[in-house]
Amino acid sequence: VDVLRSVVAFFRRESCGKCVPCRVGGEKIYNLINSINDSGPDIVDKLMDMALYMQQTSFCALGQSYIMPIASAIKYFKDEIIEHTYGKCRTNRCYLGKAVEPAELAV
């Protein structure tokens, strides 16, 4: 889940902000992942819906690419994502819910 957060943070930083789906959608996806501990299991559907919308409506490949890491994370780590909604992390190394930006982790 932390890796997904880092990838989404990268996409968010790289967005030019020209199209609304990428500018607003990227922010919404990032905020959804950051609030995963306060969410319910339906976050999986919300993430997928947002990423699909962005894939279909973004002007460039960056906005259309959000779907790839999200779909992969859901395909291979869906149970772990859902566990995070209950405040559990299998690795006990998760920074979600803490006020830490991905750039701070690369120390």
d(CA 53, CA 47): 10
**45 by DSSP, 3-state: which?**
helix
- pTM value? 0.80
Q: Identify which has the larger pLDDT, 95 or 9.
A: 9
pLDDT for position 101: 52
Q: Mean pLDDT across the stretch 69-84?
A: 94
What pLDDT sits at residue 37? Answer: 83
Q: What's the pLDDT at 100?
A: 46
In this structure, what CATH number is given to the domain that contains residue 29? 1.20.1440.230
The answer, yes or no, to whether residue 5 has pLDDT greater than 60, is yes
- How buried is residue 77: exposed, middle or buried, by Cβ count under 10 Å (0-12/13-18/19+)? middle
Our count of domains for the chain comes to 1
Residue 64 domain boundaries: 2-105
